[in-house]
A and B are shown apart, each in its own frame.
Chain A
Amino acid sequence: MKIRFRRALAKRHMSMGTLRNSFDRRSLVIGALQGGIGTILAARMGYLAIFENEKYKLEAESNRVNLSLIPPRRGWILDRHGIPLASNRADFRVDVIPERMEDAPRTIARLGQLLSLSPIALQDLHDKLDKVNGFAAVEVASGLDWERFAAVSVRLPDLPGVVTQRGFSRYYPAGPSVGHLIGYVGTASAEDYEKDHDPLLVTPGYKVGKDSLEKIFEQDLRGTPGARRVEVTASGRIVRDLDTRDDVQGKTLKLTIDAGLQDYAARRIGPESGAVVVMDCHGGGILAMASMPSFDPNSFSDGIGRLEWKMLSDDDHVPLRNKVLRGLYPPGSTVKPMVALSFLEAGLDPGESVFCGGGLRVGNRVFHCWNRRGHGQVDMAKGIYQSCDVYFYHFAQRIGMNPIAAMARRLGLGQEFPLPVVGQSYGTVPDPAWKLRKYHKEWQTFDTVNATIGQGYFLVNPLQQAVMASRIASGRKLIPHLLHGPSDEQAPSLGISQEHLDLVHSAMNEVVNGRGTAGRAKLPIANVQMAGKTGTAQVVGLNVGSGKGGLWKHRDHGHFICFAPFDNPRYACAVMVEHGGGSGAAYPIARDVMTYLWDKQKAMDTLLDFEKQWGGTPKQRLDTRYRTYAAQYGVNVPAISPEEERAKVREAEDTQNEPQPIVSDAQSPAPEPVAPGDGAPAPAASPTEPAGASDSAGASPIVGGTQ
């Protein structure tokens, strides 16, 4: 054992012969290894080329062929006569795809030079680039002229990540007039893409509807994208076109809107914060739905820049709120024809009268009439056309709140309508059950008193007021709608007796064409008489302000509802002027808008005169304001944080859930028919004596304080 062990350790003797043998063996081994590796390589190649051939063929093909989508032309939005409210126009545009840019700052600077972008535009572009996630295209400029477009196009090889395109962009001929009605389009956000994984959304040049009709009907308006198959190199250079499929334009959307009237109504509101709704009394179609101030949807489509955002947020008239649907206001005396109908239905003799001495004593309290000198003996008709509060105080107590609230709902107040809109605030029609539910408090006499004159908890939006006007005018349960359909079938009757309606119609006619509160609202059209009802809704107690002058925020809201012709109603209209100082701010607008329906020229003449004083059309005024802001702030406006943006939008939209302060007393109605001017708010001295009581004053903005 020992010996063998030693021999194993001992050096093997090596001679030239053993080495030669070892070389022969080992070279054979190496040769075999080489052969083995060669076999493995052959097998591997066979595997790649035969078994994985299909897979790699596909991959080579998807390398080679680039499918680029051609954004479809968006469907047009037409008015009832076929006039475009939203169309497309041919456009030269430049986008960048951040992910593909090699040297982003240099590329952007070069583009700024080539396109001669202003410092403000460059800043906005940088903001957009900061916000975007790499995959989406960012619009640098659109609506370019050929020279600037070509300047970028020929330099594309030096500007990786830049895309130039001939395409179509959305165009709204009426600009700000249709901002709230139609909405606007914009580049799809990351959230949009989360919800809808259509690759079209990240295609340069494609924009999604961002608001209102553009948003609601996005899928219909979108159309089918075209496609271009091109052969591209690894660096993205296009070698040749393989084939092209044309896009299919989105569906056309036809509305009940009258484009001319919509534009006229929006412009006629002028510098005020207000809303105008015009409805067709036959079918319920909405002819105009304007909320001002507004924004220009044309300038929103490339994103909302810092300056634009500052302009919007500085404006206390809340341009982002669609006041027709989202604005809630106490309706004031415009509810009186409705209240009168409820009285009639409850069996009140319209001839029965009450004496108005400027107020009504109930128990130890006095409820004032807006006219402190009193109206004398007042029956129902006079109660409406003179808007006598005492008449309604008196009989409301006899009839009770429930029939009034029921009639309010029947006529559309407090209701939401099946409209293609992004949201409606339906407001409040107060009644005892509601108050108990909401505040756990019993209904009080002063609650009824407040409600019958459209104050207190009563909150409506202008659309509801227009629906109420149209339902009173027609006696039918008209449902407002926006889409123009072939079936304009008669709406069912509301079940209100024609006799009652006639009585209210004639009293409302008297408001305008007789001894009423809105004599200046008379239409300048022969043979067409308009019936209407004024409303002045108080915002703060008389101890805070008269409601006519002073702080804008403290002025009364002006309302006017009307329909014409009064004996055969065709159109109904509601006008609201927020803090307009009273109904005197509202009815001239209603008069001119209704005039437009019969005599466009006459109405336009009036408007053009006004616009000379106001500084042009809404579009021109927005542009002027933008220039002022650009000169004043330039690029020094701070960036908008997304939270701030959301908060501001919520503030503009979330009107339904605003806290409604509890009302603990009767509100003193504001004087009605004293606005002398046409259109412009005319602060008038308050004829009322200073507020006497001070028990519940001022703490909450809606609470009045006189007894």
Chain B
Amino acid sequence: MSRSVVPEAISRQPWQMLVPLFGLVLLGAAVLYSAAGGHLQPYALSHVIRFLIFLAMATVISRLNRNLFRAAAYPVYGVIVTLLVLVELIGAVGGGSQRWLNLGFMTLQPSELMKPAIVLVLARFYESLPAPMTASWRGLVPASVLIGIPAVLVILQPDLGTALAICFGGAVCMFLAGLPLSWFLGVGAAASVAAPIAFFTLLHDYQRNRVLTFLDPESDPLGTGYHITQSKIAIGSGGIFGKGFGNGTQSHLQYLPEPHTDFVFATMAEEWGLLGGLFVLFVFAVTLTWSTNVARRAPDRFSSLLAAGMTATIFFYVAINLMMVMGLAPVVGIPLPFMSHGGTSMLTNMICLGTIMAVNRWNQTNRTRL
């Protein structure tokens, strides 16, 4: 009965996930405030404003009808693939690589939008696939093509990190869709054979260096290993309680590369210590657990795959970024969701979140209907 006090539109929102998330965004804003030397500009203020705008957008997404999602899946995918081709063409004409399109009022990175789009299109694909065909080539080949086209286009840019994210999101969808386990094991075995070959033939020099540096960052502390070393110094020197707000020397004296984007976690950990780090992990744990539960509660194949795929995409961002700043993965340009300064990644993550919130709403309406 207490629900009657607040309007239903508000009480219906998943506050158990949103409140910790607000806390994370505010912590992110505080870190960005400190990274800007104690100023709201240029990072902190725009970070919060963007979050609010994209939160409104996510709320709008969450209000959308399931059938609209279904209907939009293939067109949206098609448009984004077209944009990727367009980027490739403009890059070829302009000379050198390009990842974004200048729309005049903002720059758009189509590869980012592909991350939620691939999940959407695969969810739609597997929903329409008759169950008995799941374990046949018809369950595998079309999905592989759907993943392969954008992945190749993005690799050509070249942007290995995003391509991996697209593949990861797609692969998780395929896995959850129920494709035979032996296929995944087979692919895994093949990849472990192919990876060393690809490493020496396909990768660009700078990518190869990043991997080598990751394996032994101290081999070149002033060169390519610099990022990892400085990031570990920032995190390690923070200790349990941190150096205090505004007192991070690694970020303020510019030892830390990209203290406001890719390495924002290191910036945070230096000033807030282990406690701050655990808080960040806690919020992500809450968010992802909630998302996973939403997926598991979803009544139909489409919604459950959609929510689970979106969860995996967010997870991929978080895991790769945190592993990178702690020296557990090579340096790839992937920002930390909800903390790093940057519009595109915030947009992608809020699309994912909005979609999960939509599934959550469908669950609720289902339940009320039942």
Contacts and interface: CB of A to CB of B under 8 A. Distances in A.
Q: Do A and B come from one complex?
A: yes
A193 interface: no
B292 A27 contact: yes
Interface string B266-295: 000110011001100100110011001001
B253 A49 contact: no
Given A45-B274, A63-B250, A232-B253, A16 B295 contact: no
Given A41-B326, A57-B236, A63-B249, A13 B132 contact: yes
Contact of A14 (B132, B234, B289, B323): B132
A57 B239 contact: yes
A558 B19 CA distance: 103
A50 to B, nearest CB: 6
B308 to A, nearest CB: 6
Contacts of A63: 230, 233, 249-250, 253, 255
Given A16-B301, A30-B312, A48-B326, A37 B274 contact: no
Contacts of A48: 232, 235-236, 326
Interface stretch (A233-241, A478-486, A494-502, A688-696): A233-241
A22 interface: yes
Interface in A121-151: none
B319 A37 contact: yes
A22 B236 CA distance: 42
Interface string A20-63: 10111011101100110110111011101110110111011101
A40 B284 CA distance: 14
- Of residues A31, A45, A56, A234, which shows the largest number of chain B Cβ atoms within 10 Å of its Cβ? A45
Interface string B311-348: 01001000100110010100000000000000000000
Given A233-B253, A234-B253, A19 B236 contact: no
A61 B270 CA distance: 13
A62 B221 CA distance: 14
A198 B135 CA distance: 73
A42 B273 CA distance: 12
A560 to B, nearest CB: 65
B240 interface: yes
B46 to A, nearest CB: 25
B172 interface: yes
B236 A56 contact: yes
Query: Interface residue tally of chain B, by bracket?
Result: 35 or more
A235 B255 CA distance: 8
A44 B329 CA distance: 12
A45 B266 CA distance: 10
B176 A27 contact: yes
Given A23-B304, A234-B253, A49 B176 contact: no
Given A13-B132, A49-B239, A56-B232, A26 B176 contact: yes
Contact of A44 (B292, B305, B326): B326
Contacts of A233: 253-255
Chain A contact residues, majority secondary structure:
helix
B156 interface: no
Contacts of A23: 176-178, 301, 304-305, 308
Contacts of B273: 49
Interface string B20-64: 000000000000000000000000000000000000000000000
A698 B251 CA distance: 82
A442 to B, nearest CB: 73
B238 interface: yes
A55 to B, nearest CB: 7
B270 to A, nearest CB: 8
A53 B237 contact: yes
B254 A235 contact: yes
B204 interface: no
A502 B362 CA distance: 130
B296 interface: yes
Contacts of A49: 235-236, 238-240, 269, 273-274, 277
Nearest to B172: A30
B209 interface: no
A61 B248 CA distance: 11
A44 B132 CA distance: 44
B212 interface: no
Interface string A212-255: 00000000000000000001111100010000000000000000
A14 B277 contact: no
Contacts of A232: 253
Nearest to A42: B281
A35 B254 CA distance: 33
Interface in A42-91: 42, 44-46, 48-50, 52-53, 55-57, 59-61, 63-64
A4 interface: no
Interface string B62-93: 00000000000000000000000000000000
Given A49-B277, A53-B239, A60-B237, A44 B328 contact: yes
A11 interface: yes
A234 B249 contact: no
Contacts of A34: 288, 292, 315, 319
A234 B304 CA distance: 48
A27 B291 CA distance: 11
B134 interface: yes
A50 B277 CA distance: 12
Nearest to B322: A41
12 contacts: A11-B136, A12-B135, A14-B134, A18-B131, A34-B315, A38-B284, A40-B328, A41-B328, A48-B232, A49-B240, A63-B230, A63-B250
Interface of A: 11-16, 18-20, 22-24, 26-28, 30-31, 34-35, 37-38, 40-42, 44-46, 48-50, 52-53, 55-57, 59-61, 63-64, 231-235, 239
Given A14-B131, A16-B301, 19 more contacts: A13-B132, A14-B132, A19-B301, A23-B178, A28-B296, A41-B328, A42-B277, A49-B274, A50-B274, A56-B232, A56-B237, A57-B239, A59-B233, A63-B230, A231-B253, A233-B253, A234-B253, A234-B254, A239-B253
Closest 5 CB pairs of A and B: A56-B236, A60-B237, A49-B274, A22-B178, A56-B237
